[in-house]
Amino acid sequence: MNIFRIFIFVFTATLYSSAFAGGIEEQLTGNIWKMERNTGLGKVKTVYMFLSDGSGTGYQQISGRGPTRVENYKFTYKVNQGRIIIQEEIAKGWEGHFGVTRWKLIDNKLVGDVKFRQEVITFSPINL
Amino acid sequence: MKTSCYFGLACVVLTLLFGCSRGESGEAKENLTVAFISHTYYVNRHKDVQQMFIDDINKAKPKYIFAMGDIVLLNRDNEWAGTLEFFSKFDAQVYYVPGNHDIFNFDIVEGLATDRHYPEWRQQYVDRIGYAHKMIRDDQADFVLINSNDPASKITPFLDESLSKANPKTPTLLLSHHRIWLERYQENWVQWYWKSAKKEELLPYISKFDQVVIGDLWGKYEMKSIENTPTAMIGMGNNDKPAFWVYAELKGSEFAFEQRTITLPEGHPFIHKKK
């Protein structure tokens, strides 16, 4: 009887977590995400695009102080226990230490795991 | 016969005793003296204060000067030119321990919300200084300088190699910018100013050294015991904090540290008193 209860619990939990993870991936890949911030560098616009194979592309445009600069980079991401972990493109040997950010999907927004001073870094889906 | 034996033995003992305390030229060897200075970006805008440091430290005649990190604020080329000119005016050889400000550009990290540029910036630092980690071997002491911005995977092989080369008969000092015994470490670009290694990764190394010196203390000098290892913590600040450096003299098997404060004239702009 107890074994049966444990089995039902494990089965339900697995089903629930895989459905939850799938939901996050669907939401991530189904949108293009944008963040805009005014910083010491000028106005920084960042766009993330997530692909279903676990890779993604970042695009950054910095304007307002001198000529407009643009930077493109690749990243990989994984979803783990409801958190989205991004590893931005970085030289071999440094992965996992730098260019790592952690996010959560809250109310259809990508919300940074750590506050920057009083600011919560947030990406919103672009309405196309 | 017996008397000549005693005389011979006495000669050997005296030779051994004097041999240890005299140099090759036969002159008495002076105790090794060094200078530590940290957070010098606070004085980069004050040429007169820089000159006071140069005069004071040169007068003390240390054999080496250790700049314990944060010699620039924003890690820009013009800042580097100014600060390296400052350090070039010391008579003694200067060795550098990288601080977080020396490798990261916080304007870019915080602006772009990423620290993915770290490898390029680290290489820039190496191009400027010549190394990120370094061991200085003196006949009276060994100094192991680490880049505590690096993860443990880059630091521990260097520590192992340095400890294997260190002379067991003389003190070996570990020099780091960050307080490597603390829990806090970078998990995210927001924490760019913290060390990258976890506490448990570097803590076992502390007791393998005779003394530790760190350069990321704000506005003061303090001595502490970490893992039963005497640890000197040094770092200038601003806002009414003193401009100072630390003189250290090897006495027996340990360095004795002494804070040397630069006396600034009343109302000097370096001292921004809090209202």
pLDDT tens per residue, range A65-115:
889 999 999 999 999 999 999 999 999 999 999 999 999 999 999 999 999
- pLDDT (0 to 100) of residue B19: 46
Report chain B's terminal Cα–Cα distance, integer Å.
84
pLDDT reading at A20 higher than 60? no
In this complex, the residue of B107, B112, B188 whose CB is nearest that of residue A114 is: B188
Q: Is the ipTM of this complex over 0.95?
A: no
Is there a contact between B119 and A102 if contact means CB atoms under 8 Å apart? no
pLDDT along chain B (275 residues), means of 10: 54 48 59 97 94 98 98 96 98 98 95 96 98 98 98 98 98 98 94 96 98 96 98 89 96 97 89 63
Structure tokens belonging to residue B66:
């250790």
Q: Tell me, yes or no, if B114 comes closer than 8 A to chain A by beta carbon.
A: yes
Decide: B123 and B75 in contact? Cβ < 8 Å.
Answer: no
Tens digits of residue pLDDT in A32-45: 999 999 998 999 99
From residue A33, alpha-carbon distances to B83, B93, B135 in Å are 42, 52, 47
Which residues in chain A are contacts of B190 at CB distance < 8 A? 114-116
In this complex, the residue of A94, A101, A116 whose CB is nearest that of residue B110 is: A116
Q: A2-125: what fold? A: Lipocalin (2.40.128)
Beta strands in chain B (DSSP E): 33-37, 64-67, 93-96, 134-137, 142-145, 172-176, 211-214, 220-226, 229-235, 244-251, 254-261
Give the A window 33-52 contacts with B, CB below 8 Å: 35, 37, 39-42, 44, 46
Residue B37 bridge partners (DSSP)? B67
Q: Which of B177, B250, B182, B167 is nearest to B212 (CA)?
A: B177
What are the sequence ranges of the domains in chain A?
2-125
The residue among B73, B75, B114 with the most chain A CBs within 10 A of its CB, best to mutate, is: B114
Tokens 């550098």 -> residue? B96
